[in-house]
Amino acid sequence: MTLTLRHYALLALLAFFLALPGRMTLPPLDRDEARYMEATEQMVLSNDFLDIHFQNQPRYLQPAGIYWLEALSAKSSAALFGPQVLRQTWPYRIPSLIAASLIVPLTAWIGFMLFGASTAILGALFLMVSTLFVAESRMATIDTVLLLDILCVEAILVRLYTNRNNRDPVSPFFACAYWAALGIGLMLKGPIILIPGLATPLSLCLIERNFSFWRSLRPAWGWIITLIIVAPWCIGIALKSHGAFFKNAVGHNLLGKITHGQESHGFPPGYYAVIFILAFWPGALFTLRALPSIWERRKNSSVLFLLCWIMPYWLFFELLATKLPHYVLPTFPAIALLTAASLTLWPAPRFLVWQKIIYIIYALLWSVVAIAFCFAGSALLITTSHLISIRALIALGGSLPLVILAIFSLTKNRVKHAAYNIIGAAILIHAGLFWAVIPNLNLIQLSPHIASSFYKARLCSESVLISASYYEPSLVFLAGPQTRLLDPEQAAKSLIEHSKCDLALIDEKDKAVFLAELEKAGIKPHLYDQISGFNYSKGKKLSLSLFGAQ
């Protein structure tokens, strides 16, 4: 079977429609997403596309590439639907939606080049339903777009590698595209793109003791293309920030993560292997089962290529002091394809006794996770929001039988049937989660509730929210870039100074200090609203009051 343009288009459409549920109704899902959206909004409003700021603080973590893409999306949306959409989440999520829709068929193309059609499709499906990919593809962060760029680099390398192995002529066009993709990756995330971009071909050359593959990339002049792409912005930001961007982005953000865990995200090596069962669910069990087969075929050129893609990148981040689950996402397409090859091309692996014991234990854990995922959405809504959702129950009713059927197929050693059943279950679980559950979860609605209350109560069109107890970036995005994040005493002074228009948000624990400061100025505040909720970023319950000076 040959994959045609129609097959790739169908995969892209499937990925697109699976990534749509909840995209317009979901509030900012984590702090980083809110920071990206707010910094992009400020870029659009200021028309300064060189410098990056979150409120009045420079955001010097990575280059401006992702902000440009989100700014283009937001500005186009504002032109079509009005400037009010700049305060909504969906325009900033369009780049990740487009990237996710392209990643799935591109993974299939790489799989087709290496293994054939059936492996390509199954591998693309494994990636499409993996927990980490599903989560990241719905957020306005950099990771999905970066993954697309890395896939483009690897796709070019696959084409050059197969051409070399088949002794076909190699066009310089592919070398130009390779160095251009590296330049785009540098503009997205800085030097991170160099790990898969350089480590994959160099590892292959070192293992094969043959550098003809590297020479086919034209490194003697190709780097100039990369430099042309990144140099203009690098020079501009270096001049504008007086060198502060590179000092912070490279010296603090990148090198700092290597030596110590930042923001309480330090974990020992092995962290990604431990969380793999959740991050790559439902494919994780089939990956574990594939390991003996992969090891047996490690000298096969297709397997070797994917291992040279996975191992340098995975090991780098396992050794990095700072660890976040999404750091190893760029290895997932390669893992998905190797996993699929073990089911579609290779005979069942022969386990040693200790390997079989590990596999059985892992299968039991995997089954528990699968059943828990089925019930998680409805259970969260009932326990946290006291809500029963018909949509969530439909997802539960559709996914649970497929999970049970997958587990039953595994007991009968019909592993390929189990894979397709569990992929179907994952599609229903994810659709229910993002369509019915998360948009209605009070756990993540605190910032939207505060912003809504502020807009209803504000005294002037230029009113500013002063928050003395709740400092989430999502509040700044939803309530406006002028939002002031102050301590209780400073918040009271700010409200006194801007008593005609501004409103202040105070938690119960800070109210005494705040009111005492107002009393000194002879102001008796007016209570406009009370908002109770859970700040899931901090793990704290809050009882907030919205005050005005009149």
Report domain extents, the chain: 8-344, 353-442, 445-548
Confidence bin at 260 (pLDDT 50/70/90): low
Per-residue pLDDT of 265-284, as tens digits, reads 568 889 999 999 999 999 99
Q: At what angle do helices 65-81 and 90-114 cross, to 10 degrees?
A: 120
pLDDT at 256: 58
- In degrees, rounded to 5, the angle at the alpha carbon of residue 187 between the alpha carbons of residues 181 and 193 is 55
Strands 53-54 and 540-548, how do they pair? Answer: unpaired
Per-residue pLDDT of 466-517, as tens digits, reads 999 889 999 999 999 999 999 999 999 999 998 889 999 999 998 999 999 8
CA 218 to CA 211: how far, in whole Å?
A: 12
CB 332 within 8 A of CB 131: no
Strands 465-467 and 57-58, how do they pair? Answer: unpaired
How far is C-alpha 330 from the chain's CA centre? 11
Q: State the burial class of residue 148 (Cβ atoms within 10 Å of its Cβ: 0-12, 13-18, 19+).
A: buried
In CATH terms, 445-548 corresponds, of 3.30.160, 1.10.3470, 3.40.190, 2.60.40, to 3.40.190
CA 518, 520, 523, 524: dihedral to nearest 10 degrees?
70
Residue at token pair 């912070």 = 248
pLDDT at 263: 53
AA letter at 183: G
CB 42 within 8 A of CB 50: no
If one counts every other C-beta atom within 10 angstroms of the C-beta of residue 106, the result is 22
CA 442 to CA 387: how far, in whole Å?
A: 10
pLDDT at 382: 87
Residue at token pair 């400073």 = 490
Q: State the burial class of residue 315 (Cβ atoms within 10 Å of its Cβ: 0-12, 13-18, 19+).
A: middle
Confidence bin at 107 (pLDDT 50/70/90): very high
More confident residue, 383 or 490: 490
For 492, phi then psi, to 5°, come to -65, -45
Residues 6+ apart with CB under 8 A from 491: 466, 467, 468, 484, 504, 506, 514
